Each structure stands twice: as C-alpha cells, then as structure tokens.
Amino acid sequence: CAQSSQSKVDNHNKHITDKLEVLAKAYTHHGERWRALGYSKPVNPLTSYEVGYLVPYLYNRSLGRVIGHNQIIGLKHYDDFLDRMPREEAAAIEETVKEAAQFLDPGLLVMACGSYRRGKDTCGDVDCALMNTTQFLFFFFYYSGFLTDDLVSHEESGAHKKYMGVCRLPGPDVIVVPYGEFACSLMYFTGSAHFNRSMRALAKTKRMSLSEHSLNSDMLRQGSLKVYGGTSRPTLTEKDIFTHLGISFREPQERDW
C-alpha cells in the first residue's frame, strides 16, 4: 500500500505531463471539454511509467492508444499553441483598435478579419481592416503609440494602402482601404490564404480576375500575359463577389480552404 502511493508521487514524465496539463487547461478554458479530456486522461498513466520504459514506448505505435494521435500532434505543436492567442484576446485587441480609430472618426469601420473572422479558437495575430478614405489614420496610428515602432508599408497602388503595424503583444496587421474596395479587401483579409487562391483560380476560368482591390471581368490574356485588365464589377458586399463568380455564398467559418 505504502509502496504504490510512493510510485504515484514520483512523476517520471513531468516534462510531458506538464505540457499535457497546460493543453488540457487551455481547451477547458475554450469550452472544449472532450478535447481537454483527451489531454488530461493520459496524465495519470504517464506519471507512473518509468522513463526508460516510456521512451521506447512513446515511438512505438501502442502508446497511440494511451495518448491518441491528436494528443501527440498537440505535443508537437505545443509551442505554436502557446504562440497563438485565444480569440477573446483577439477581440480585446480589435476593441482597442476600434476605440482608437473611432475616437478619430466615429463613422469609421473597423473589423478583425483573418482567422478571427473565420471563427477560429486561436489566432496567430489580429488582422484589422480599417475602412477610410483619408490617409490621416495612418499618421494617427503611427504617432499614437499603440503601434510601437515598426510600421512597414507593404504595398501601394492607387488609393489602396496596406500597412503592417507592430504593437505590444501581439501586434495587429492593419489594412486601410477605401470604401469602394471594401468587399474585395474584406474577403482577401479574411482568407484563408488557400481559399483566396481557389477563388482567384476560379475567377480565371471565367475570364475574370480577382484581387484584394476588385473583381474584373472580360480580362484579355495572351498566353499568361494580361493584355487587357478588364472592367471592374460593382461589389458592394462579399455576396456580390460570389454571385458574379456564379457560386453560392460561403460564411467566413466555411473559408478555411
């Protein structure tokens, strides 16, 4: 009796069980009870394994039954998981950006796009789209101190400007777009990147061209060379883009691929 309780006190795999416990807690926090259970269940059996026994066992497939494939993947991406923020934190950053922007112009539209808009539990960053017709905002963010030091202009073409802003932990990507490009920008910035590639490829098959600025029809290509850029279709909403492309609308949560 004394002996068996002693073996429970010694945790031979603390380096693993600690991580499992962090993951279990994180998923519990996100209301994913079943996934959390998947991580907390193996903690007890792992605690009592001898290290020398566990190591050959862990790359042996039979441990798959103890931990499960998803938990092994979870351990592999443990650092990634901690790098990403829970969506509640992304919402708080969106709020901060909104407050700062609307202090300047109450009619300004601010929206967190990217993985946040696609409804993901965790976000690598916050992709804030700001709809504005002036460049004033750029200077505001630059000097407000919310964006710390780096603000890199990625791309400039016409009235469309995209900036990468860096703020304290973790920085939002800020994109400033004119109202006329709202729908195309929103769709681009919502992603996913894979979804965007598919949509562009689809447009191409219909002699159209889709970018973060506009959807153009009647493109003229000679081989891979663009001879005529086409005329831009009116796209007031994302739904218009889907309609022009002849496919049914997909909610942001359905745009992972």
Name the residues that contact ligand DCP, by CB under 6 A.
Answer: 114-115, 123-125, 127, 173, 188-189, 191-193, 196
Q: What residue is closest to ligand DCP based on CB?
A: 191
Query: Are the C-beta atoms of residues 183 and 191 closer than 8 Å to each other?
Result: no
The CA distances from residue 61 to 15, 45, 56, 69, in Å, are 20, 16, 10, 10
Distance CA 44, CA 61 (A): 19
Nearer to Mn ion, 173 or 238 (CB): 173
Pick between residue 63 and residue 123 the one whose CB is nearest to ligand DCP.
Answer: 123
Task: Name the one range near Mg ion by CB under 5 A: 23-31, 68-76, 115-123, 143-151.
Answer: 115-123
**CA–centroid distance for 22 within its chain:** 21
**Residue 193 interaction partner, one of ligand DCP, Mn ion, Mg ion, none, beta carbon < 5-8 Å per kind:** ligand DCP
Binding partner at 238 among Mg ion, Mn ion, ligand DCP, none, C-beta below 5 to 8 Å by kind: none
Please say whether the beta carbons of 104 and 140 come within 8 A: yes
Q: Which is nearer to Mn ion, 127 or 238 (CB)?
A: 127
- Least separation in angstroms between residue 125's CB and Mn ion is 4
Q: Which is nearer to Mg ion, 125 or 212 (CB)?
A: 125
Identify which of residues 108 and 125 has a Cβ nearer to ligand DCP in the complex. 125
> What is the per-residue binding string for Mg ion in 141-180, x denoting contact by CB under 5 A?
----------------------------------------
Measured between alpha carbons, how far is 90 from 81 in angstroms, rounded to an integer? 15
Q: CA–CA distance from 205 to each of 45, 201, 211, 217, 223 (Å)?
A: 55, 7, 15, 11, 13
For position 212 contacting Mg ion by CB under 5 A, the verdict is no
Let me know how many helices (H) and strands (E) the chain has, helices first. 14, 12
By beta-carbon proximity to Mg ion, the closer residue of 38 and 172 is 172
Residue 152 CB: number of other CB atoms within 10 A? 9
Question: Cα torsion for 219, 220, 224, 225, to the nearest 10°?
Answer: -110
Shortest Å distance, C-beta 175 to ligand DCP: 9
Asked whether position 238 contacts Mn ion by CB under 5 A, the answer is no
Quote the distance between the C-alpha of residue 142 and its chain's center: 24
Q: Does 114 bind Mg ion (CB under 5 A)?
A: yes
Count the residues in the chain.
257
- Asked if residue 252 binds Mg ion (CB under 5 A), the reply is no
Contact residues toward Mg ion (CB under 5 A) are 114-115, 125, 127
